Structure 1
Amino acid sequence: MKGKVLTDKLNEGRVAIVTGAGRGIGRAHALAFAADGARVVVNDFDADSAHAVVAEIVAAGGEAVAAVGDVADWAGGAALVDDAIARFGRLDILVNNAGFVRDRMLVAMSEDEWDAVVRVHLKGHFVTLHHAAAHWRAESKAGRTPSARIINTTSGAGLFGSVGQGNYVAAKAGIAALTIQAAAELGGYGVRVNAIAPSARTQMTMGAGEAMAAQMAAPTDGSFDVMDPANISPLVVWLGSPESSAVTGRVFEVEGGRITVVDGWQRSAEHDIGSRWTPGELGPVVEEMLAKAPHPVPVYGARAQ
């Protein structure tokens, strides 16, 4: 059953930065925010892609500007936030989406492949989050507490693991934890921070092998396209709106028409003897606790044990 529609446009007059918005999921976010009444800063490393999305938004009657640059560059991240405020007079929403993959098994992965992926995903999230949050903190301290929103992008790989993607897994897991941390630290300034773990057809997924490409391909029979990137954006648009004020520090998986709340690390089975353990007595105790604990979600691509 579809949710009740309370208003036509939840983000009328608000200003959103969307990183990595030149194509794929980021492009879908930018178009969706513009259609919902927001003014959009379209960030991408590729200038042609960013300007093409801006042109698409303007042609549809929306308002947008391109911001070409590297989200993991400290000065570039500051400029992205400053330029949005200078151009539109305010900033309400930051959607961290930019990223790429350099897939390889851990034993074959190079230092550069590790550093590049962790940099653009994890550092790229922190850089823009830091500069946007600094602005919102200043606004709050000046008595103008914002209704600000940050939507980060983690991944099922980061939540559950994915064979051959150790760098991406580590970065996306870090983003999920960063989301929880930022929600706790920034709530007092009027900032709500959440994350999505999307599954959709993008350049990254289509380049992940023939089997994955076949799974991600658009249907040819007119049926619902589960892997359409535009399926991801409605939740992001809602999370960016004032309506989401009661939601923070949460992670949502999104695929097609399915939205799933994903809970992070939680304590489960426990055994306390009130004194120091000896190694020899721990075997049966650990076995008993693991038998009581929830089974972990299998790692993507892992062979059955």
Structure 2
Amino acid sequence: MTTVQTQTPPRSTSKQISRFLRSREIPVASALIVLVVVTATINPLFLTPQGVKDLLLNATIVVILAIGQAVVIITRNVDLSVGSILGLVAFGTGTLFAVYPGIPIILVFLIGMAFGAVLGAVNGLLVTIAKVPALVITLGTLYIYRGLNNAWAGGTQYFAGDRPRAFSNLSTDTIFGFPLITLLAVVVVVGVAVVLAYTRAGRDLYAIGSDPAAARLFGIPVTRRVLGAFVASGVLAGLAAVLYASRFNAVGATTGTGLELDVVAAAVVGGVAIFGGSGTVVGAAIGALLLTTITSALTALRVDKFWQQAIVGVLIIAAISVDRLVSLNRARKLRVSEARNV
């Protein structure tokens, strides 16, 4: 008679699995999967190749903006001006092609990202130098940037026909069935996730968000890091703006209006703590995909637009409430542990 010995996984592996299952991204990803399955069951046309392509394209811009927003929120700040930055840079993109028809597309991307970096740097400098809450500063720059765009654009709009076909094709070309600009968004997600997880600058952002005063005591350059977070948000908003100009038919004075609320919602729903110090850009990307999928799914199910907005509002409240409860629970466990060690 032989006995079969079973090997239990190493404790470290068990801890990693347990940590993964407790991660904030799991509930969001699960909700996304359930939503897609239910919608596809009721309306099979929802997951046709064209339907999936449209779904990914609709999410791409918000995903890139949510990544930049997540970087800022992790530092216990927020950037409400991203919609206005996108509008300003998108109209600038249309202007570039109108003034310089033969301009290389890669140069347009670089100029757009540099333009976004400058606008993001203005936000960062005002927040770090004036010591005014980012909510107030970026609410002000939201209106300033929008006003500049209105003054610059006026009634002018640039349409798809005003841009090179190769530029417009960026949002229609696919690789293995996936839109090119969506694959670009995936590269951005992976790149920023690696920076946050494996570089000192990335870890510093989490430390700042957890406790800015303690971060200063440990020698972390808080001002420089927070400024860098706003610049990064501006760069990604500039990138999203150029892709927006490629994706949509027209850009003008109203481009990007109200988009900042969707972006903040995506980051928060994706598990980025509004109080700073925790969350991932992967979660923010999944949150953006979930919110855009909700809109598409409810539209496919012919649900009134009011309920679409109401559901997004419920998700935001739920995400913030859960984050608060988790924080209180961790604080309670820490107090109990300290009491036992005394």
TM-score above 0.5, yes or no? no
TM-score range, shorter chain: under 0.3
What's the TM-score, normalizing by structure 1? 0.27
* Greater relative contact order (CA < 8 Å, ≥ 6 in sequence): 2
Which has the larger Rg? 2
The structure in which a higher percent of residues are strand is 1
